[in-house]
Structure 1
Amino acid sequence: MYIAETVKELTDFLEQERTAGKTIGFVPTMGALHAGHASLVSRSVKENDITVVSIFVNPTQFNDKNDLANYPRTLEADAQLLERIGVDYVFAPNAEEIYPEPDTRYFDYPPITSVMEGPRRPGHFNGVCQIVSKLFDIVKPHRAYFGEKDFQQIAVVRAMIEELHIPVELCPCPIVREESGLALSSRNTLLTGEERKLAVNISRILFISVDYAQNHSVKETHDFVVNTLNALNRLDVEYFEIVNACTLQNVTAWTDATEIQGCITVYCGKKPIRLIDNIKYKG
């Protein structure tokens, strides 16, 4: 496995691989890797001749400077994990390498970006599109792998791929959960032991709500999830939206769409950690 820190290093290597006719799979990450990332990487290794993983904490997608500063960075451990899985190239640039000058491009894909994370994290999806488009241009992968925990992000990246006519296959991958049901996230490392036990309630209530929804309306299901979680000390639901899985627009009845997803963001703990999750209701 080779770790490249500059664009030139990586592109020189990958040009040789492409010339040899090899397929390239790509997994963009911000590091602090866990079993969820490993599942994406393992799939890429299985489906492609060459796998590239980027590790870059992208400053343009953070609208909270403290969140950026506190984001876990574990490059050495990440590299060891990726080598064990069989990754060929790790791209670990610094910010100056990716942004030698400010990226002034603006990406917006309403109505997908007008809901949920969009208004609550101004500039976040613009930053995501800036970095992902840059990385696609550098790596030029045949396939790119994204985790479904970031359900809205996949929809945004898909819209960007279509707009820019990027020749890459987008490969969504299922959420990986701890045995407790908690969705794996790099932010979980910021939770105390007690907070982690508390956070398990997020997925627990979502799973219960799938059965609840069989005999209750969309509104009743929504209120059940929000009220049950908010009743627990040090859990605070920022939003819970039950949406058309394709358009991400709210549904008011279970017959409104063939695919329906519930997307949630919850603050957990004394120094609140923002956790996201989602669950399929239909489709």
Structure 2
Amino acid sequence: MKVFELKKNLEAYLLDFRKSAKTIGLVPTMGALHSGHLALVKQALLDNHVVVVTIFVNPTQFNNSEDLIKYPRTLESDLKALNTLTPDNIVVYAPPVKDVYPQGIVSKQYNLGYIEHEMEGKFRPGHFQGVATIVENLFDIVKPNKAYFGEKDYQQLQIIKKLVEITGQPIEIIPCSILRESDGLAMSSRNQRLTPAHREAAPFIYKTLKAAKKKFGTKSASEVTNWVVNEFKKNKFLELEYFAIADQSTLKPVMRKQKFKKYRAFVAAFAGDIRLIDNIALN
């Protein structure tokens, strides 16, 4: 497994793959790898000749400076985890900030449309501009044929698709299903920061989403939303930030259910000072 800190060295290494028409897959991560990340890499390995895994805690997507400071950085254990897969076909790019942002840590500005301002966008101003900035940078560096993103960050996935549309980069975006712990909690690097009490309480999020899905079959979106809000009020370990039911493709809030449309429920909640997100397809 090759590990590069500098983009110029990575670009030089990947040049031979491009010349021989071998496909390159990209799995962007911020490290603290778990089974969910490894599932993305496994899928990318099935689809491509070589897979670039980026490990970079991107400062432009953090609107909370304390969260950036506390975000886990575990490069040594991340590399060990990747070595358990097919290391000869994996390339790691783990750069310093100055290699990614040589002109300073600033987000570009994109016209991402409506989806930028709902849900995560409402509560994390500037977040998606930072996400789009780093992903475009990585696309320019790696020039992958395919890039892999998990559906846990479903809104981010839609943002990335919009980014590709805006920039015209010839990259296929591959969505990958949410991986969960045995108790239903969506896998996340932030889970390792949960206290024992909050970790025990956190599966309530998915349990509530599953119940909301069942209710959505017979009740209106507003009735389901009110029920979810009240359920979280009863939970002393979790504080609901938002719950939303939206059109799966546009992410616009549901005003009235329509036949043949797909809907998805989204939730963000705090377990202490750890913010957790999850979502579920409703139909």
Partner of 1:98 in structure 2? 100
Q: Give the superposition deviation at 1:253.
A: 2.4
Q: How far apart are the structure 2 equivalents of 1:252 and 1:101? A: 44
State the superposition RMSD in angstroms: 1.1
Contact persistence 2:265–2:279 (CA under 8 A)? yes
* Partner Cα distance (2:222, 2:173) in 1: 33
Q: In 2, distance between residues paired with 1:184 and 1:253?
A: 32
Which TM-score applies when normalising by structure 1? 0.96
Within-5 A mapping of 1:43-192: 43-87=43-87, 88-102=90-104, 103=106, 105-192=108-195
Q: Give the C-alpha shift of residue 252 in structure 1.
A: 2.1
Mapped contact 1:222–1:241 kept (Cα < 8 A):
yes
CA distance in 2, matches of 1:275, 1:14: 36
Cα offset for 1:51? 0.6
Residue 85 of structure 1 deviates from its aligned partner by 1.3
The superposition leaves residues 10-68 of structure 1 with CA deviations (integer Å, 9 ceiling, x where unpaired) of: 00110011112210011000000001101100000111110110000000110111000
- Range with greater deviation from structure 2 (85-94 or 104-113): 104-113
SS of corresponding position for 1:43 = helix
Instruction: Give the match for residue 276 of structure 2.
Output: 275
The answer (yes or no) to whether the contact 2:107–2:130 under 8 Å persists in 1 is: no
Query: Separation in 1 of the partners of 2:200 and 2:190?
Result: 14
Structure 2 unmatched runs, 5+: none
Which residue number in structure 1 is paired with residue 23 of structure 2? 23
Contact between 1:108 and 1:126, CA under 8 Å: does it hold in 2?
Answer: no
Q: By how many angstroms is 1:105 displaced?
A: 2.1
Q: 1:212 aligns with which of 215, 234, 237?
A: 215
Q: Matched residues in 1 for 2:146 and 2:113: separation?
A: 25
Aligned to 1:222: 225
Report the CA distance shift for 1:134/1:59 in structure 2 as closer, same or farther (over 3 A).
same
SS in 2 for 1:26: strand
Distance in 2 of aligned mates of 1:36 and 1:192: 21
Is 1:31–1:55's contact at 8 Å kept on the other side of the alignment? yes
Counterparts of 1:208 and 1:41 in 2: how far apart (Å)? 31
* One-letter identity of the residue aligned with 2:268: T
3-state SS of the aligned residue for 1:149?
helix
67-76 vs 206-215, which moves further: 206-215
* Superposed displacement of residue 254, structure 1: 2.4
233-242 or 95-104: bigger deviation: 95-104
Q: Post-superposition shift, 1:256? A: 6.6
Deviations 1:84-142 (A, max 9, x none): 11242000001011111134521231211011111211111000011000000000000
Q: 2:148, 2:65 → 1: CA distance?
A: 27
Which of 27-36 and 96-105 deviates more? Answer: 96-105
The residue identity in structure 2 corresponding to 1:215 is T
SS of the residue aligned with 1:93?
A: coil
In the aligned structure 1, how far is the partner of 2:102 from the partner of 2:216? 50
1:255 matched residue in structure 2: 258
Task: Write the distance in 1 (CA, Å) between the matches of 2:177 and 2:226.
Answer: 26
TM-score of the two chains, using structure 2 as the length reference: 0.96
1:237 match: 240
d(CA) in 2 for partners of 1:56, 1:151: 20
One of 234, 258, 265 as aligned partner of 2:268: 265
Q: Report the AA paired with residue 101 of structure 1.
A: Q
What SS does the corresponding residue of 2:182 show, helix, strand or coil? coil
SS in 1 for 2:186: coil
- What amino acid is aligned across from residue 127 of structure 2 in structure 1? H
CA distance in structure 2 between the partners assigned to 1:120 and 1:28 by the alignment: 23
Instruction: Give the partner amino acid of 1:226.
Output: V
One-letter amino acid matched to 2:94: A
